[in-house]
A and B are shown apart, each in its own frame.
Chain A
Amino acid sequence: MKLTVDPIGCSAHGLCADLLPEWVRLDEWGYPVVTPGPLPEGLVAQARRAVAACPVLALKLRKE
């Protein structure tokens, strides 16, 4: 699985970095920087919660 951000939709709420700090950090303006590469299996459940929590549905989990 791969975690991606729709950059047009994202409005820097920052919940993704709160819920998944192992994989997402925020830049100085509050926009998410997602670690490149496939999401480790152990983070998938937490990533799903982050995806569901995004207020503008800009965070997406895709099959590669």
Chain B
Amino acid sequence: MSILPAHRLDLAGHRRRCGVVPWIAYHDDDGRDRLIEAVELAGLRGRGGAGFPTAVKLRAARARRSIVVANGCEGDPLSHKDAALLALSPHLVLDGLQLAAHAIGAGEAVLCLHAAGPVLPSVAAALAERDDRVPVRIAEVPRRYVASEESALVHYLTSGDARPLGKVPRPAERGVRGRPTLVDNVETLAQLALVILRGPHHYRAERTDLVTVTGAVRRPGVVEVPPGASLAAVLAAAGGERGPVQAVLTGGYGGTWTADLTLGVTGIPAVYALPAGACGLAYTAEVLAFLAAESAGQCGPCVFGLPAIAADFAELLRGGASTARLARRIPLLTGRGACAHPDGAARLAGSALQTFETDVRAHLAGGRCRVLEGVA
């Protein structure tokens, strides 16, 4: 059974399709242990992009007066799987949110969505239908790329400032208003609900991940694929290639380019298929400029490094010899920010130079693009 239904399900429809959470089986402290063990047995990992084991996070945040935060902001322009999930199956997410709250003993739950976003009505209507043990509040978060980073959400919910805070302390130690906090992506919570609704063994055998597929495919949109599916299989699930595809960007704007469609992918939220007639370097230059503009402006390597490599790419497109500078600058962007925003830009830029090596040489040789001039 797939995660996404064909049409939006209200509470009655959701229960007909997915069943009712067997709360009695997870009652009291032993029940919480069993719940987390089931998540561990199912092998569930975070679906926000980082892929951290969910059971480990649940155990770390298990404390008195803890808070659970559902992250439905989905800041990456290439991803809208979370929006599709919240629009079509909000109750699956809310079941998962209640289960996560129960597992860590939280008395408070917050569902973070983009301010004035399109899924707000669906989620608000779903909340109004339910009578949950843990009250859920919707928080509308500013539409910035880094505002939905874990520590940025914690910061925003505590102080109204949606900039990342850094890697220490972890939200599980000191999160919203200083309380132990679990931050999970909304698809992770939906998957958690499916682990319990179907049982961990059944879930493990049949599980699928949501992936947003855009670019040169026949049916762009959100597809479901089993973990480890090849990129070719992901594109096939979106109707297959529309014209030849020269390379694929996996993992959104801060992701990795590859031309190898036999590559198996797990936990990737988004895939963009670059058509043969487009220049991967030009596309990357645009994305780098976007990422540079979306920096929260807090950390030197991001504030100066991102505009620098974006400018290097723009120069490369004009035939300027910026590759030596890029080779020096890109490695210096990794692991030096309060969040992984510069790391993502470095991944994108580095993989572009490798994947589009032939184009790099063509641009350097004549300041011209072999793709756009039809030489390829």
Contact = CB atoms under 8 A, between A and B. Distances in A.
Nearest to A27: B332
Contacts of B166: 6-8
Interface stretch (B69-77, B180-188, B299-307): B299-307
Contacts of B301: 7, 27, 29, 31
A29 B305 CA distance: 8
B346 to A, nearest CB: 13
B338 A33 contact: no
B337 interface: yes
Contacts of B165: 8
A12 interface: yes
B298 interface: yes
A41 B166 CA distance: 27
A7 B300 contact: yes
Interface in A7-25: 7-8, 10-12
- With most chain A CB atoms within 10 A of its CB, the pick from B332, B336, B338 is B336
B336 A7 contact: yes
A11 B300 CA distance: 7
Interface string B160-186: 000001100000000000000000000
A29 B338 contact: no
A8 B365 CA distance: 40
Query: Mostly helix, strand, loop or mixed at chain A's interface?
Result: loop
Contacts of A10: 299-300
A7 B332 contact: no
Interface in B291-341: 298-302, 304-305, 329, 332, 336-338
- With most chain B CB atoms within 10 A of its CB, the pick from A7, A11, A12 is A7
A33 B298 contact: no
Interface in B330-376: 332, 336-338
A11 B297 CA distance: 12
A33 B300 contact: no
B37 to A, nearest CB: 30
B332 A8 contact: no
Contacts of A6: 166, 338
A33 B332 contact: yes
A10 B337 CA distance: 11
A47 to B, nearest CB: 18
Nearest to B298: A8
A10 B336 CA distance: 11
Contact of A29 (B298, B300, B337): B300
Contacts of A33: 332, 336
A8 B299 contact: yes
Given A6-B166, A7-B337, A8-B166, A29 B299 contact: no
A8 B300 CA distance: 8
Nearest to A30: B300
Interface of A: 5-8, 10-12, 27-31, 33
11 contacts: A7-B298, A7-B301, A8-B165, A8-B166, A8-B298, A27-B300, A29-B301, A29-B305, A31-B301, A31-B304, A33-B332
